[in-house]
Amino acid sequence: MSEKNDIFHFDFKEWILEHDENDYDIKLENNDHIQLLTEYGEASIQFTQVEEGTIVEFSIISKKDDSVKFYLHFELNDEDHAKQLYDEMVETLINLKNEKTLKVLLSCSAGLTTSMFAENLNSMVEMLGLDYHFNAVSYLSIYEEVDQYDVVLIAPQIGYMLNRLKESLPEKLVLQIPTATFASYDALSAIQFVQNELNIFYTHKKEQKVKESSHCTEYKKRILSIVISLNKAQAKIFYRLKEKCEVIDSRLIIKPSMNIYDLYDIIDTILLKYSYVDIIGIATPGIISDDNQLKNLTYKEEAFNIKEEFEKKYHIDVMICNNANAAAIGFCLEHPEYENIIYHSQQFGFGVDGQGIIVNKKLILGKNGVAGELKYFIHRMQFSDNLHKLVLTEQGALEVVTKSILPAICTMGPEAVAICSPMTPNMEEIKSKLNSFIPEEFLPKFYYIKDASSYMLDGTTQLCVNYLDKKS
């Protein structure tokens, strides 16, 4: 990305309007708002004039479920970069065509009964002209298949799994087929049931807000905290600008993937809107070494010094940390009653994740940031099956999580363990499993963390405060 130009002569709006394609309809809502419309999604392009420039905002809403599939904003100061982001947005919009079918996964004890029901349902939706598709598997295969589906529909005979599945799959709609509907193979009633529940589910999701907390030491500075979260499907970047512990701006960026320029765009936009920031904190996956080198390919680049590069570009103090470590700090701020804490992250479908470790209220980084990096020992531990197979079953995930936290509990004896693992939401099960290794009197208090983003943001902010205090 080029440095900010004193004079920028690129009419981005005109360029967009001239690049109308057959894949979408383009509509000029007003001088500051353009829409790209398809039968499966809507893209919005908003131009906002501020004192020293223009902010461009891209967003895509899926018509299938009203969910946000793409969101970003950037300062309009580089023609090539603006075009590249536009092309990325258009590609995401067009690719929604392949996702427009609502996919429903049916399951019972063996899958045979639901297979016949799925055939009836597929015939019915074809008659009704609905773009739905139903498939059936045994309950043992739900977690292996669920990534490809929007809704999980279980038979009454495995209704005991309903609450657990809802907890394990918070991003999916999980339902039990009404007994009368299933017993009579009433396909029309089942479809109407799914439609009604979908409306309720998506309305509720739109109303949900990210938990906002403000657990930090009092400070007078303006701090920009950025948290990066990556999974198989997309990249999410949370950011929050706080001044004197008050939130003055916050957003969630959503993209299919990310690179370092996405961070530049966030910072450029914030600086355009608010003129100055005292310090930037960035929490990212990967090992942050003592020399601030990022030791993995988070940005599809070789390891490089984020702190040095960002401070050179913006002339602002920059603090870099691992996102699990940030979450551990955030949890510690919320629970000052504990001196020693473990934060354990186990994302759905991943065989290896990481830990943040607090000892005597101090974050343990280890030599070159290696503390909490489970990948260096977890594959050598004895498990009942292949690690990547285990994490796709409830009992398997329970085994992986308990054996991952067992060494740390025995080594440091924490008072509390915070676990962010959607496959293991029941802390009593974890406690019981660990009790077979450790007497109950030595076990910590366990906390289930459904969404760690607020803890990561709080922790990043606090680490920025600590950095400034140490510097002064």
pLDDT at 2 over 50: no
* pLDDT number for residue 277: 96
- Residue 342's Cβ-side half-sphere holds a number of Cα atoms within 13 Å equal to 29
pLDDT at 295 over 60: no
* pLDDT number for residue 294: 60
Cβ-contact 446, 419 below 8 angstroms: yes
Q: How confident is the model at residue 171 (pLDDT cuts 50, 70, 90)?
A: confident
Closest by CA position to 148, among listed 104, 192, 111, 181: 104
Class of domain 333-470: alpha beta
Both tokens of 300, joined, read 């599809």
pLDDT in tens, 215-263: 666 778 999 999 999 877 789 999 999 998 889 999 999 999 888 899 9
Q: Percentage of residues in the chain with pLDDT exceeding 70?
A: 92
Lowest mean pLDDT segment, chosen from 15-19, 170-174, 206-210, 442-446: 206-210
With tokens 């349902």, the residue in question is 121
Lowest mean pLDDT segment, chosen from 272-286, 386-400, 438-452: 386-400
Domain 101-207, CATH among 1.25.10.10, 3.40.30.10, 3.20.20.70, 3.40.50.2300: 3.40.50.2300
pLDDT at 6 over 60: no
Question: What is the b/e burial string over 34-71, where b = at least 16 CB atoms within 10 angstroms of the residue's CB?
Answer: bebebebbbbbbebeeeeebbbbbbbbbbebbebebbb
Distances (CA, A) of 278 to 137, 223, 230, 244, 274: 54, 6, 27, 12, 11
Lowest mean pLDDT segment, chosen from 2-11, 63-72, 86-95, 355-364: 2-11
Both tokens of 182, joined, read 């299933």
* pLDDT number for residue 306: 82
Amino acid (one-letter) located at 461: T
pLDDT at 179 over 70: yes
* pLDDT number for residue 444: 97
pLDDT in tens, 22-36: 889 999 988 899 999
Cβ-contact 270, 224 below 8 angstroms: yes
Q: What would the mean pLDDT of 457-471 be, rounded to a whole number?
A: 93
Both tokens of 229, joined, read 């979260």
Cα angle at 470 between 305 and 220, to 5 degrees? 100
Distances (CA, A) of 124 to 176, 286, 414: 19, 48, 56
Q: How confident is the model at residue 298 (pLDDT cuts 50, 70, 90)?
A: very low
* Interatomic CA distance for residues 153 and 201, integer angstroms: 14
Cβ-contact 142, 112 below 8 angstroms: no
Coil/strand/helix, residue 109: coil
Dump the DSSP string for 392-437.
TSHHHHHHHHHHHHHHHHHHH--SEEEEE-TT---HHHHHHHHHTT
Dump the DSSP string for 305-372.
BHHHHHHHHH-SEEEEEEHHHHHHHHHHHH-TT-SSEEEEE--TT-S--EEEEEETTEE---GGG-TT
Mean pLDDT over the full length of the chain: 89
Closest by CA position to 425, among listed 405, 404, 450, 408: 450
Q: What would the mean pLDDT of 350-378 be, rounded to a whole number?
A: 89
pLDDT at 1 over 50: no
pLDDT at 79 over 60: yes
pLDDT at 126 over 90: yes
Lowest mean pLDDT segment, chosen from 122-136, 156-170, 206-220, 372-386: 206-220
Dump the DSSP string for 203-248.
HHHHH--------S----SEEEEEEEEE-SS-EEEEEEEEETTEEE
Q: Is 136 left (phi over 0), alpha (psi -120 to 50) or beta?
A: beta
* pLDDT number for residue 299: 46
Q: How far is CA 305 from the centre of its chain?
A: 24
pLDDT at 363 over 80: yes
Q: Is 111 left (phi over 0), alpha (psi -120 to 50) or beta?
A: left
Amino acid (one-letter) located at 26: I
Backbone φ, ψ for residue 225 (5° rounding):
-105, 130
* pLDDT number for residue 287: 84
